[in-house]
Amino acid sequence: MFDRLRRALTFIRFSHTIFALPFALGAMLVAAGGLPGWRVFGLILLAMVFARTAAMTFNRIADWKFDQANPRTASRHQLMSRPAAIGLLVVTSAAFIAGTWFINPLCFRLSPVALVIVFGYSLTKRFTDFTQFFLGLALAVSPVGAWLAVTGQFALPPLILAAGVLCWVAGFDLIYATMDHEFDRSTGLRSMVVRLGVPRSLRLATWLHLAMFALLIAFGIAARLGPVYFASLAFVLAALVYEHRSASRLDLGGINDAFFKSNAIVGLVFVTAILIDRTA
Residue 54 structural domain: 2-279
How would DSSP label each residue in 233-278? HHHHHHHHHHHHHHHHTT-HHHHHHHHHHHHHHHHHHHHHHHHHHH
Please write the tens of the pLDDT for every residue from 115-146: 999 999 888 888 898 999 999 999 999 999 99
Q: How far apart are CA 74 and CA 65, in angstroms?
A: 9
Please write the tens of the pLDDT for every residue from 240-250: 998 888 777 76
pTM (global) more than 0.95: no
Helix axes 227-248, 252-279, angle to 10 degrees: 180
The domain total for the chain is 1
* CATH code assigned at 75: 1.10.357.140
Q: With bands split at pLDDT 50, 70 and 90, how would you rate the model's confidence at 267?
A: very high
Q: Is the pLDDT of residue 252 over 70?
A: no
Mean pLDDT of all residues in 91-114: 96
Q: How far apart are CA 193 and CA 24, in angstroms?
A: 28
